[in-house]
């Protein structure tokens, strides 16, 4: 490759600026940013005005550019940019998880139609090379589950609540002040960001791309000091886990839920703004990947690695998707949960169909139960109940299964017991 790759960049926020800095400090990579398209004509920029344009077509229609790097916030605009770039024969690198998750099927088709690659390692788990490992290394036939902590903001908040015994609101406010959480934290704390990442990773792990709306997603907004007191008493941590697990009969369980985590669990040590991913395969057993999940430089480094891969003609092959009939999302999965609510709000138990209650606890106006419910019921009802003051988290595998049973059977049974 004699000629450097010529890049057109959309967006010049923290990641875009990080990428610009990283590219300038990297000898090895044969690529240069030719022009940057931004929206705000008034904003002061840290580099000279001549690098910028406000007209997308100056990048998208420029035959000199090989690659479009898309780093804007808005998913719909990003999708329009990516569509046009691919149609114009340009390779694309993006970090926009919402856009990729919502359009992954179409994006696979577009890549095949126009014969140009789209890479998005930066959209999933920051600097961890998980998309590429799922795509290249783990044979789908042997892969039983993919799970992990995929949102650094939630993990930062949960780590601080656990370590400092403080409540949700002040930790969120502090995280916002420090730039670890957005002023509108919805995408992060309601689990949507983790859901988008899970959708993409599930596509590369199993060849099936779940519709985001079908993935049960509860966040951490209702977590309180009560839940952390419970966690500490039991020797657990509380983490927001995203999981997709293959079930018998070509089915798939897929959800994002808070979960109480034992010290023996690989994600137990994922703290602060780190992300961690666990891949379970039949013969390799558990594999664990951990790295910074957010921040301008870790994300920029993933973008950079995709650019580097393009310079060696890398593309995702999506071979699992081509080889396999899609797995069906299973709603009939029984979950073992902890459900905490203000004493007196017991109707929520019936609304969520909680059954097989093992533990009922009530003290000083706060109650919790430990019992079971169906994934499908929760998926149908949780939206209408989202303003109800309850907090739900998965419990770890059943204690009685810890002894004697093979670990894998116990984990499979507990995480996704069929009713």
CB 65 within 8 A of CB 34: yes
Q: Map the footprint of a copy of itself across residues 113-132, applying CB under 8 A.
A: 127-129, 132
For a copy of itself, the binding residue among 73, 76, 106, 141 (CB under 8 A) is 141
Burial of 54 by CB count in 10 Å (0-12 exposed, 13-18 middle, 19+ buried)? exposed
Q: How far is the CB of 319 from a copy of itself (least distance, A)?
A: 8
Instruction: Name which position in 18, 210, 219, 396 contacts a copy of itself (CB under 8 A).
Output: 18
When binding is defined by CB under 8 A, the residue of 200, 309, 393, 395 that contacts a copy of itself is 309
Question: Rule CB under 8 A: is residue 301 a binding residue for a copy of itself?
Answer: yes
Q: 3-class SS at 51?
A: helix
Displacement of CA 43 from its chain's centroid (Å): 31
For the bound state, the minimum distance from the C-beta of residue 302 to a copy of itself, rounded and expressed in Å, comes to 7
Stretch that binds a copy of itself, among 158-166, 172-180, 309-317, 410-418 (CB under 8 A): 309-317
Beta-bridge mates of residue 149: 276
Question: Closest separation between CB of residue 360 and a copy of itself, Å?
Answer: 35
User: According to the binding rule CB under 8 A, does residue 288 interact with a copy of itself?
Assistant: yes
Read off the tokens for 178. Answer: 């420090």
Binding of a copy of itself by 323 (CB under 8 A): yes
The least CB distance from residue 181 to a copy of itself, in Å, is 20
165 part of the interface to a copy of itself, by CB under 8 A: no
Using the rule CB under 8 A, is 144 a contact of a copy of itself? no
If we measure between CA atoms, which residue out of 218, 239, 88 comes closest to residue 158?
Answer: 239
Of 23 and 37, CB closest to a copy of itself: 23
Q: Which of 304, 348, 354, 375 binds a copy of itself (CB under 8 A)?
A: 304
**CA-to-CA distance for 226 and 359, rounded, in angstroms?**
16
| Shortest separation between residue 389's beta carbon and a copy of itself, angstroms | 36
Rounded CA gap, 179 and 404, in Å?
47
Q: Give the CA count within 13 Å in the CB-facing half-sphere of 226.
A: 21
* Calpha distance 288→273 (Å, rounded): 17
Helices and strands (H and E) in the chain: how many: 16, 18
Tally of CB atoms within 10 A around 342: 13
- Contact between 322 and a copy of itself per CB under 8 A: no
CB 368 within 8 A of CB 325: no
DSSP β-bridge partners for residue 418: 333
Phi, psi angle pair for 152, to nearest 5°: -65, -35
158/279 with CB nearer a copy of itself: 279
Residue 197 bears catalytic tag: yes
Closest by CA position to 220, among listed 395, 391, 394 = 391
Answer yes or no whether residue 139 interacts with a copy of itself by CB under 8 A. yes
Handedness of CA 10, 13, 19, 20 (dihedral sign): positive
**Which of 102, 265 has the CB closer to a copy of itself?**
265
Q: How many residues belong to the site for a copy of itself (CB under 8 A)?
A: 47
Interface residue with a copy of itself among 11, 219, 298, 396 (CB under 8 A) is 298
Question: Which residue out of 97, 98, 195, 197 is catalytically annotated?
Answer: 197
Give me the residues that bind a copy of itself (CB under 8 A), please: 18, 22, 25-29, 127-129, 132-133, 136-142, 266, 269, 281-292, 297-298, 300-302, 304-305, 308-309, 312, 314, 317, 319, 323
Catalytic residues: 197
């Amino acid at each position: 490759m004699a000629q450097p790759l010529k890049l057109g960049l959309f967006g010049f926020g923290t990641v875009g600026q990080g990428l610009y800095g990283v590219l300038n400090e990297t000898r090895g990579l044969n690529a240069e940013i030719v022009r940057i398209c931004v929206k705000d004509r008034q904003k002061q920029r840290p580099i000279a005005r001549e690098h910028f344009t406000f007209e997308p077509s100056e990048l998208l229609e420029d035959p000199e550019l090989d690659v479009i790097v898309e780093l804007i916030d808005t998913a719909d605009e990003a999708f329009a940019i990516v569509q046009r770039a691919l149609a114009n024969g340009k390779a694309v690198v993006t970090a926009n998880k919402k856009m990729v998750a919502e359009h992954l099927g179409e994006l696979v088709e577009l890549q095949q139609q126009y014969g140009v690659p789209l890479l998005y390692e930066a959209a999933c788990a920051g600097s961890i090379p998980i998309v590429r490992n799922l795509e290249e290394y783990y044979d789908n036939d042997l892969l039983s589950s993919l799970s992990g902590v995929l949102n650094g903001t939630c993990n930062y908040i949960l780590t601080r609540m656990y370590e400092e015994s403080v409540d949700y609101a002040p930790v969120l406010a502090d995280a916002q002040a420090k730039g670890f959480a957005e002023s509108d934290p919805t995408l992060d704390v309601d689990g949507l960001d983790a859901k988008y990442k899970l959708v993409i990773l599930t596509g590369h792990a199993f060849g099936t791309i779940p519709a985001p709306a079908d993935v049960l997603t509860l966040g951490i907004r209702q977590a309180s000091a009560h839940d952390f007191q419970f966690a500490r008493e039991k020797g657990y941590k509380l983490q927001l886990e995203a999981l997709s697990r293959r079930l018998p009969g070509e089915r798939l369980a897929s959800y994002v839920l808070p979960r109480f985590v034992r010290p023996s669990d690989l994600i137990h040590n994922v703290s602060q703004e780190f992300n961690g991913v666990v891949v379970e395969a039949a013969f390799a057993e558990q594999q664990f990947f951990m790295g910074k999940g957010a921040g301008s430089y870790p994300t920029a480094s993933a973008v950079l690695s995709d650019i580097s891969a393009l310079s060696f003609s890398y593309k995702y092959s999506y071979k699992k998707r081509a080889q396999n009939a899609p797995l069906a999302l299973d709603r009939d999965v029984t979950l073992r949960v902890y459900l905490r609510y203000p004493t007196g709000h017991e109707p929520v138990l019936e609304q969520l169909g909680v059954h097989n209650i093992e533990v009922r606890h009530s003290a000083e106006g706060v109650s919790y139960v430990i019992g079971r419910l169906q994934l499908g019921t929760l998926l149908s009802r949780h939206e209408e109940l989202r303003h109800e003051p309850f907090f739900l988290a998965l419990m770890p595998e059943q204690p009685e299964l810890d002894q004697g049973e093979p670990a894998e059977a116990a984990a499979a049974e507990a995480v996704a017991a069929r009713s």
